[in-house]
Structure 1
Amino acid sequence: MLSIQISSPGKVELVEQEKPILLSDQVLIRIHYVGFCGSDLNTYLGRNPLAISPVIPGHEIGGTVEAVGKDVPAGLFAEGMSVTVNPYTACGKCSSCRKGRPNACEHNQTLGVQRNGAMSDYIAVPWGKVIPAPGISPRDCALIEPMSVGFHAVDRGAVSDIDTVMVIGCGMIGLGAVVRASMRGATVIAVDLDEEKLDLAKRLGAAHALNSKSANFHEELMALTGGCGPDVVVEAVGSPVTYVLAVDEVAFAGRVVCIGYAKSDVSFHTKLFVQKELDIRGSRNAMPSDFNAVIRYLSRGNCPMEELISRIIKPEEVSETLQYWSENPGKVFRILAKFD
């Protein structure tokens, strides 16, 4: 079978591998689409210290059931069923796992990062990691995992209908946070540098959109929040500037939820942590309930899926596409590799 492999920084190869041998507790998935995550781009650029090398990338999966192992509980899966995959592992022993939060497992190994991923014609995974998505196309299934990360951040922020929520960064994960917060009845303020992304955020549920390049950003935000600032800020960029912005602008007694990984140290005026009595919370990966919530949302059929997909490419186009993405990061929502 054909696989995409990042062999070393800047080098992508198409390699032939043996089709997976299906174990008794596994499901064999025919891969149709796999999304490229920012972690895949960083692996390509040599900036992902967690990634093995060489590695087959990919953990945003859209596929169909090809075969089911003999020990998989009957009735869960049928041949041809649209599915996605929970790409994380959980050791079951660390503090996070014992507290019922396996998404933050200390020893997690994500597909395409610490172990080979899904950018192949087929992948075999334990049946408990396979998530049925009835009524959703394999293409759209590839968008479930990144959107679920944004859904999880909103859950970490304990967002409710009395909150005003500012989401900084309207990429795929940030848009997931916009959708989930608006579904919970919150007033959502979307923040980004790109007007196209801000327009889409408003169509997905944001009540307001602010361009962070605006010279009057603080004044505009205060006007929208009655001079108090947002109750919850979701940081979905991973930049020192946006981390500081989140702490500076969140309301007193507010919550800051951090998704993005800043690639350099961040300097804070820590007096704001105390003066505002802030809750600062990390948000990592997603829980099964977040996947299910995204599937329920997409099943409604009112999400503009085509606008979330920047490109669909063939495996042989991966190298030039990753180079394009590295040079134009602000113009990409999701790039999907098609294996049909």
Structure 2
Amino acid sequence: MKTIILNKPGELHLIERAELEAAADEEAIVKIKRVGICGTDYHAFSGNQPYFSYPRVLGHELGAEVIALGGSQAIATLKIGDRVSVEPYLNCNDCQACRGGHFNCCERIQVLGVHTDGGMTEFLKVPIRKLHKSEVLSFDQLALVETLGIGLHAVNRAGIRPEDSVLVIGAGPIGLSVAQFSKLSGATVGVADMTAGRLEFIRRHGISDRSIVVKEPLTPEYIREFFGGDLPSVIIDATGNRGSMLNAFNLIAHGGKVVFVGLFQGEVEFNDPNFHRREVTLLASRNSLPDDFRKIISLMETGQIDTAPWLSHRTDFEHLSTDFATFMEPDQELIKAIIEV
């Protein structure tokens, strides 16, 4: 079967791999139809992705078709031919985190495309419980459910209320999904980014109430201009940029919450008196939960979320090795790239 493998940073190859063995009990084999390319993949390609080793088959944003089911199909929740979104977080179901329902941060988690080989391949074997079907959504839409799940989980972590003012820093796909769900929560939302094209995209599609151009490190005085003189009660940083993340402690309202959904390889440092004076709540947000997948699929099926405009670039396995680096160039005005398998 055709597979794209990242041998080392900057080196993607199209290879042939052996066909999969039959699905075991509670396993399914899916035919991969679409693969979303995300920041994790770009970081791995560039050589600066945490929790990563080479060689690796990338791909964890997956829209797929069920082609085989192991065990008794009579008790399966799926049938052959179902269209599914793949939840790529393979958790153990046994550690303390899993017993507490925190499947997204399982102590022994294996994320497809990060800790173990992912979906840039024709066929993939996964636990049946990690497949979320829809009889309505396209493979394009199903491939974006995981991206949206990251945003929804971050918004849930923040406990956003209609009376909140939310500053989302970073307008990549994760930032867009954070803004989308913050808006659905009824809050006032501003998105800050350095890229004018992304901010124009946000304005054009009504993803936030405010578009904030970042030309230099954000200051409290500048941010107050966009929130009626106040500071945001919630900041969600989706940049993975150390400077941006640490600066969030200076931009948050007293009594507010800071959520880091992006991450970097290094130490988070902040001034303790400033942190205490503001009584800031600091939260990390990692991956998403099964309920997030189900909720997002429902919202997409009912037309409350439209991801079609996000898909700015397309490629296939034959062209991916050359297209991948091109997508990273600033003049591409990339929002979201997807692979058609």
Q: Same fold (TM over 0.5)?
A: yes
| Aligned residue number for residue 287 of structure 1 | 289
| Aligned residue number for residue 47 of structure 1 | 48
Equivalent residues of 1:175, 1:204 under 8 A apart: no
| Aligned residue number for residue 120 of structure 1 | 121
| Aligned residue number for residue 278 of structure 2 | 276
More displaced, 264-273 or 13-22?
264-273
The percentage of aligned residue pairs carrying the same residue is 29
CA shift in 2, pair 1:274/1:320, >3 Å: same
Q: Which runs of 5+ in 1 are unaligned?
A: none
Alpha-carbon distance, 1:220 to partner: 4.4
Q: Structure 1: how far apart are the matches of 2:11 and 2:99?
A: 40
| Aligned residue number for residue 235 of structure 1 | 237
| Aligned residue number for residue 27 of structure 2 | 26
Alpha-carbon distance, 1:102 to partner: 1.2
Q: Structure 2: how far apart are the matches of 1:307 and 1:217?
A: 31
Equivalent residues of 2:258, 2:283 under 8 A apart: yes
Alpha-carbon distance, 1:65 to partner: 1.5
CA shift in 2, pair 1:296/1:195, >3 Å: farther
Alpha-carbon distance, 1:296 to partner: 1.8
Equivalent residues of 2:87, 2:146 under 8 A apart: yes
CA deviation vs aligned residue, 1:12-65 (integer Å, no higher than 9, x gap) = 111111222222321221111111122222222222242232111101001111
More displaced, 14-23 or 213-222?
213-222
Query: Within 5 Å, which residues of 2 pair with 1:137-286?
Result: 137-202=138-203, 203-213=205-215, 218-286=220-288
CA shift in 2, pair 1:239/1:310, >3 Å: same
CA shift in 2, pair 1:261/1:118, >3 Å: same
CA shift in 2, pair 1:19/1:51, >3 Å: same
More displaced, 211-220 or 61-70?
211-220
Q: Structure 2: how far apart are the matches of 1:9 and 1:313?
A: 20
Q: Structure 2: how far apart are the matches of 1:117 and 1:329?
A: 29
Alpha-carbon distance, 1:224 to partner: 3.4
Alpha-carbon distance, 1:75 to partner: 5.8
Q: Structure 2: how far apart are the matches of 1:11 and 1:216?
A: 36
| TM-score, normalised via structure 1 length | 0.93
Q: Structure 2: how far apart are the matches of 1:242 and 1:275?
A: 20
Matching residue's letter, 1:227: G
| Aligned residue number for residue 11 of structure 2 | 11
Please state whether the residue corresponding to 2:167 is helix, strand or coil. strand
| Aligned residue number for residue 306 of structure 1 | 308
Equivalent residues of 2:300, 2:306 under 8 A apart: no
More displaced, 107-116 or 77-86?
77-86
Alpha-carbon distance, 1:194 to partner: 1.9
CA shift in 2, pair 1:293/1:201, >3 Å: farther
Matching residue's letter, 1:7: N
Alpha-carbon distance, 1:240 to partner: 1.7
Q: Structure 2: how far apart are the matches of 1:159 and 1:216?
A: 22
CA deviation vs aligned residue, 1:66-87 (integer Å, no higher than 9, x gap) = 1222335536223322101110
More displaced, 215-224 or 65-74?
215-224
CA shift in 2, pair 1:13/1:224, >3 Å: closer
Alpha-carbon distance, 1:257 to partner: 0.5
| TM-score, normalised via structure 2 length | 0.92
CA shift in 2, pair 1:301/1:71, >3 Å: same
Matching residue's letter, 2:210: H
Matching residue's letter, 1:14: L
Q: Structure 2: how far apart are the matches of 1:208 and 1:149?
A: 22
More displaced, 26-35 or 209-218?
209-218
Q: Structure 2: how far apart are the matches of 1:50 and 1:287?
A: 20
Matching residue's letter, 1:261: L
Equivalent residues of 1:228, 1:252 under 8 A apart: no
Matching residue's letter, 1:19: E
| Aligned residue number for residue 323 of structure 1 | 325
CA deviation vs aligned residue, 1:208-241 (integer Å, no higher than 9, x gap) = 1111227986434213334331111000001122
Q: Structure 2: how far apart are the matches of 1:99 and 1:329?
A: 45
Please state whether the residue corresponding to 1:224 is helix, strand or coil. coil
